[in-house]
Amino acid sequence: MRLLSLDTSTKRVCLCLSEHMRVCEYSLEVGKKLSSLLIPVIQQTTEALGWKLKDIDYFACGIGPGSFTGLRTGIAAVKGIAWSLQKPVVGVPTLDILAHNAEKFEGVIVPLIDAKRNLTYAALYKSSRGKLKRISPYMLCAPDALVEKIVQKAGRAQKVIVFGDGLALCREEITKGVKRAVLLDNDYWQISAWRIAKLAEGMIKEKKTTNALRLLPLYLYPKECQVKKKG
């Protein structure tokens, strides 16, 4: 099975081409050049591996939450390629991808993504023996509300592993309000396309694929707060 996995929810393009145990991963910070560089990056990476797009069996994409512009660009690219080739797609929530960076820890895992406006995207996961189970909705939270959610779900006894670029917004509140909080450094903060591929492979085995036109971003901001197209 050949799988192309992509995430553009942050400032970096993360791309992974995988076939069984053979993996080629590519990551590059592109910023505002994303829309012009994404398709060439996909084409050059597949060609470097000797692949043709038509030979890829599945396409996986991080669906957010994250950068509005980045998500739209990445999802549009995957939808366009997959639809033209009539190949199935898999949408993987970005917080799920990030949470697996800390899967070796036991306790409650809390990945955080900076949502701007003094808010964070967050979700809570129970980690046991290397397996994660999400125990909360995907959330858009202010720091105080996030601490309240963590205490409600984790209680005072469980170790709580917190990390991600959203941590800068609520470090003080978490340190004061969450008794057994462990704050991980930025080695754990990066989205990995390889992890998208691993999660997508599991979803493919469970037949959780869809056609390209049904691949949608996971937006948590109210519609009136989302970036609108001009014109």
For residue 206, give the CATH number of its domain.
3.30.420.40
Nearest to 128 by CA among 103, 150, 95: 103
Same domain, 99 and 144: yes
| Residue 211 pLDDT greater than 80, yes or no | yes
* pLDDT tens digit sequence for 116-175: 999 999 999 999 988 999 999 999 999 999 999 999 998 776 899 999 999 999 999 999
Same domain, 47 and 119: no
Same domain, 113 and 173: yes
Cβ-based burial of 30 (10 A; exposed 0-12, middle 13-18, buried ≥19): middle
Instruction: Count how many domains the chain has.
Output: 2
136 belongs to a structural domain: yes
Angle between helices 68-85 and 34-48 (to 10 degrees): 40
Higher pLDDT, 203 or 230: 203
* pTM (2 d.p.): 0.91
Same domain, 100 and 136: yes
Same domain, 48 and 76: yes
Per the structure, the complete domain to which residue 142 belongs is given by 95-188
